[in-house]
């Protein structure tokens, strides 16, 4: 991962903590200097990825956010043990496969692609990981991200 140093946010989540996850993402993205309109887009994108992990993946996961080269990277991984398949509701199949994330999520991943500057998905024996990148855009005259809160 490019510049995957110390994350500015590292938080696990499950079905009951998505609200807390969204609040944390909004606060950290805002503090990192992402413009307010883009903060809302980032929160929406991270929520859709986390919702996929909850609904179509392991049922829980982990979010890491870090800053690198004028971009915010958000990595969502459903890297826990899979849920008991019997506990799944309706037709949703529990799977470790990103292909089923795509099918099960309806328009969720589509929305993420509309909002993020970049989205990548990968699947492996340890589950599915999704990374979205939000760039800060052209530097402003007095860029807030030159503050060193996260040194």
Partner 1 sequence: MTTVGADAQITDLTVNDHACLTFGEPEELLDLTAAFVRDGLSSGLKVVWLSDAAPAQAVSELARRGIAVESAVAAGQMTAAAWEGHLLSGQAFTADHAMGWLSGEMAACRQEGFPGLRVAVDMSWALRPVTGVEQLPDFEEGVAAALAGTKVSVLCQYDRERFDPVTLASVAAFHTRAVAAATYYQDAVLRICRQYAPPGIRLAGEIDFKAEEPLALALAEAIRLDGDITVNMADLAFIDASCVRMIVDATRGLAASRRVVLQCHAPIAARFVLFGAADVLGVSVVTVHER
Work out how close the CB of 122 gets to partner 1 at its nearest, in angstroms, rounded to a whole number.
22
Q: Does 44 sit near partner 1 (CB under 8 A)?
A: yes
CA distances from 136 to 21, 50, 99, 113, 116 (A): 21, 22, 30, 17, 11
Residue 114: both structure tokens together = 């509309």
Work out how close the CB of 28 gets to partner 1 at its nearest, in angstroms, rounded to a whole number.
16
Residue 3 region by backbone torsions, left for phi larger than 0, else alpha for psi between -120 and 50, else beta: left
- The residue within the footprint of partner 1, chosen from 1, 6, 12, 15 (CB under 8 A), is 15
**Chain centroid to CA 65: how far?**
8
Q: Does 146 sit near partner 1 (CB under 8 A)?
A: no
Contact residues: partner 1, CB under 8 A? 15, 18-19, 22, 37, 40, 43-44, 47-48, 51, 55, 106-108, 110-111, 114
């Amino acid at each position: 991962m490019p510049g995957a140093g110390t994350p500015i946010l590292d938080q696990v989540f499950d079905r009951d903590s998505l609200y807390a996850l969204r609040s944390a993402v909004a606060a950290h993205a805002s503090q990192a200097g992402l413009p307010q309109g883009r903060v809302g887009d980032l929160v929406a994108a991270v929520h859709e990825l986390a919702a996929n992990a909850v609904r179509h993946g392991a049922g829980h996961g982990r979010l890491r956010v870090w800053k690198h080269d004028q971009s915010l990277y958000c990595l969502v991984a459903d890297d826990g043990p899979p849920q008991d398949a019997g506990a799944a509701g309706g037709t949703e199949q529990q799977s470790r496969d990103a292909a089923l994330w795509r099918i099960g999520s309806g328009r969720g991943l589509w929305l993420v692609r509309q909002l993020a500057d970049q989205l990548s998905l990968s699947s492996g024996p340890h589950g599915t990981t999704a990374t979205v990148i939000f760039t800060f855009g052209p530097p402003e005259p007095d860029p807030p991200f030159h503050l060193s809160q996260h040194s």
